């Protein structure tokens, strides 16, 4: 700002000097002209002389005016030249001043750049040293991790090997569990190891422990769908169906493409006794994939629970056909033969119940299948076969009270079908002692038709024995 004011003052001063010089030159011309006229006027004697004088004076004035106009122009040109010279001097001064400032700025800039460059170089050198130190650390870490990976790889290879000969299922699971523990010790961030451990614990029936390890897997990887899925199955096994349902609904939002979630939601709803809702969900899954044998099998089970036996048989048969079409193994031979023979029995189609249960022995050997075939044989009046089948089943029963009570109740039904009232009443009493739910079941059970009108039966059912 100060530099601009100084430049303006210099220009104004030069202009003022030029104006003063021009004014002085004009005054000089006018004074010279007047002096000449005065001198010549002294010598005039008369009017004619005056007239001639005036004429001559006018000519002289004109000539003088032209002469002095020319001089005035010359002076103006000199003033302009002077002004231009002054401007040139000022311009030169400004140019010199600007060059000086430029050089000063350049010098200061150069100094600043050098200082900044020194700081940046120091910074870069510092970062480089840190990087070298990190590189040394990283190299050591890589070596350690490589060793861990190699050890873990060997352990995973052992884990995935087939069961060694001479080792039963329980021993094999324990061996696999030990291998997984070693893997986790080496690599604590391996979510798959936690997930596999959860699966083995689940298979061993330790659902609470399994959930703990599924949760550990999910802390590392929230996208581990297998861990999510099996955690829900554990909750269902633990009868924590409400918690399981909450988890399932969250998973359906998170993994909308996973139709298998509809299957376990249907299972969960069935466990909660919400059969209509369970059927609605499994129908939704079938609408997405109508060739999925698991979905069809689940629908058959729900229909069976709803006592829609004809539709249940239809969907069980459709399940088997679809499994063959998809080159799958049969979904669950035990499930099919037990439930279809049961459904035929409830429809009083005892012959088909007998055939289906008998065919089932080619694939499975279960207590339920012995019971269903025994009941069908009894209904067809094959008394000896029926009794023998129940005797064989007796040797297969464990100490689980719920299974024993159910078996005793079915044995009571078998003796009623072959009209052995006393034995039927005895086994009915024994089953009710173990579980009173059989009182309500017996009231509507048609297999007791041969003894339902007896006073002894009424006493057991309506008077508690």
What is residue 50's predicted lDDT score, i.e. its pLDDT?
A: 44
20-29, 199-208, 222-231, 412-421: the lowest-pLDDT one: 20-29
Higher-pLDDT residue of 264 and 174 is 264
CA distance 457 to 421: 9
pLDDT of residue 43: 40
* Model pLDDT, residue 182: 85
More confident site: 157 or 297 = 297
Per-residue pLDDT, 53: 47
- Structural domains in the chain, CATH included, are 2-106 (no CATH), 162-237 (1.25.40.10), 239-329 (1.25.40.10)
Judged against a pLDDT cut of 60, whether residue 386 lies above it is answered with yes
Residue 111 has pLDDT above 80, yes or no: no
How far does CA 246 lie from the centroid of its chain? 19
Q: What's the mean pLDDT in 35-41?
A: 44
Using the predicted structure, report yes or no on whether residue 110 has a pLDDT greater than 90.
no
pLDDT digits (tens, 9 = 90+) for 40-54: 444 444 444 444 544
- Give φ, ψ of 93 to 5 degrees: -60, -45
> Which range in 103-112, 196-205, 392-401 is most confidently predicted, on average pLDDT?
196-205
Residue predicted with more confidence, 162 or 48: 162
What's the pLDDT score for residue 180?
Answer: 84
Half-sphere exposure of 110 (CA within 13 A, CB side): 6
CA distance 89 to 464: 134
| Per-residue confidence band for 70, with pLDDT thresholds at 50, 70 and 90 | low
d(CA 361, CA 373): 10
Of 459 and 121, more confident: 459
Grouping H, G, I as helix, E, B as strand and the rest as coil, residue 331 is: coil
Tens of pLDDT, residues 308-362: 999 999 999 999 888 888 877 655 567 889 999 999 999 999 999 999 999 988 8
Q: Count the residues in the chain.
A: 465
What is the structure's pLDDT at 31? 54
Contact 210, 234 (CB under 8 A): yes
Q: Which of 191, 194, 261 is nearest to 223 (CA)?
A: 191
Alpha-helix runs per DSSP H in 221-332: 225-237, 241-254, 260-271, 275-288, 293-305, 309-325
Give the separation between CA 143 and CA 152, rounded to whole angstroms: 14
User: What's the confidence (pLDDT) of residue 332?
Assistant: 56
Higher pLDDT pick, 90 / 295: 295
Average pLDDT over residues 2-19: 53
Using CA atoms, how far apart are residues 353 and 374, in angstroms rounded to an integer? 10
Judged against a pLDDT cut of 70, whether residue 103 lies above it is answered with no
Lowest mean pLDDT among 43-47, 363-367, 455-459: 43-47
Residues contacting 251, CB < 8 A, separation 6+: 228, 229, 232, 258, 261
pLDDT reported for residue 55: 45
Report the percent of the chain where pLDDT is more than 90. 39
Torsion from C-alpha of 7, 10, 16, 20, nearest 10 degrees: -160
**pLDDT band (50, 70, 90) for residue 248:** very high
> Distance (Å, rounded) from C-alpha 435 to C-alpha 59?
158
What's the burial of 51, exposed, middle or buried (CB within 10 Å: 0-12/13-18/19+)?
exposed
Taking residue 132's Cβ as centre, other Cβ atoms within 10 Å add up to 10
pTM score, two decimals?
A: 0.61
Q: What is the mean pLDDT of the chain?
A: 77
Specify whether the backbone of 374 is left (phi greater than 0), alpha (psi in -120 to 50) or beta: alpha
Question: What are the structure tokens assigned to 453, written together?
Answer: 């009108």
Structure-model confidence comparison of residues 124 and 237, the more confident one: 237
Confidence of residue 36 (pLDDT cuts 50, 70, 90): very low
């Amino acid at each position: 700002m100060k530099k601009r004011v100084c430049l303006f003052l210099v220009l104004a001063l030069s202009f003022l000097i030029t104006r003063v010089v021009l004014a002085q030159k004009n005054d000089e011309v006018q004074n010279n002209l007047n002096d000449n006229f005065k001198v010549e006027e002294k010598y005039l004697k008369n009017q004619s002389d005056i007239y001639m004088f005036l004429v001559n004076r006018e000519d002289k004035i004109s000539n003088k005016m032209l002469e002095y106009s020319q001089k005035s122009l010359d002076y103006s040109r000199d003033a302009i030249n002077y002004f231009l010279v002054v401007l040139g001097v000022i311009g030169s001064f400004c140019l010199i001043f600007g060059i000086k400032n430029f050089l000063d700025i350049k010098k200061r800039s150069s100094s600043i750049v050098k200082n900044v460059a020194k700081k940046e170089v120091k910074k870069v050198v510092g970062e480089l040293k840190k990087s070298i130190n990190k590189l040394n650390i990283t190299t050591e870490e890589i070596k350690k991790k490589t060793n861990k990976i190699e050890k873990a790889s060997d352990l995973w290879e052992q884990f995935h090997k087939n069961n060694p000969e001479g080792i039963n299922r329980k021993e094999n699971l324990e061996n696999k569990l030990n291998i997984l523990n070693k893997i986790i010790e080496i690599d604590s961030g391996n979510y798959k190891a936690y997930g596999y451990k959860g699966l083995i614990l689940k298979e061993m029936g330790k659902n609470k422990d399994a959930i703990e390890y599924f949760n550990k897997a999910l802390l590392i990887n929230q996208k581990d769908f297998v861990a999510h899925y099996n955690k829900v199955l554990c909750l269902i096994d633990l009868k924590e169906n409400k918690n399981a349902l909450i988890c399932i609904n969250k998973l359906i939002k998170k993994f909308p493409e996973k139709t298998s979630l509809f299957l376990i939601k249907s299972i969960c709803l069935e466990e909660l006794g919400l059969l209509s809702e369970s059927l609605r969900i499994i129908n939704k899954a079938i609408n997405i994939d109508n060739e999925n044998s698991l979905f069809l099998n689940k629908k058959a089970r729900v229909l069976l629970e709803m006592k829609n036996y004809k539709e249940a048989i239809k969907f069980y048969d459709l399940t088997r056909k679809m499994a063959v079409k998809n080159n799958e193994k049969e979904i669950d031979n035990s499930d099919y033969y037990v439930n279809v023979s049961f459904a035929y029995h409830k429809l009083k189609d005892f012959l088909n119940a007998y055939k289906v249960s008998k065919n089932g022995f080619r694939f499975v050997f279960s207590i339920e299948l012995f019971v269903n075939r025994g009941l069908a044989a009894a209904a067809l009046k094959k008394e000896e076969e029926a009794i023998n089948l129940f005797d064989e089943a007796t040797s297969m029963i464990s100490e689980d009270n719920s299974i024993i009570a159910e078996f005793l109740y079915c044995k009571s039904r078998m003796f009623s079908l072959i009209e052995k009232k006393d034995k039927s009443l005895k086994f009915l009493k024994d089953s009710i002692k173990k579980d009173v739910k059989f009182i309500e079941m017996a009231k509507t059970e048609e297999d007791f038709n041969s003894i339902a009108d007896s006073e002894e039966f009424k006493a057991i059912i309506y008077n508690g024995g």
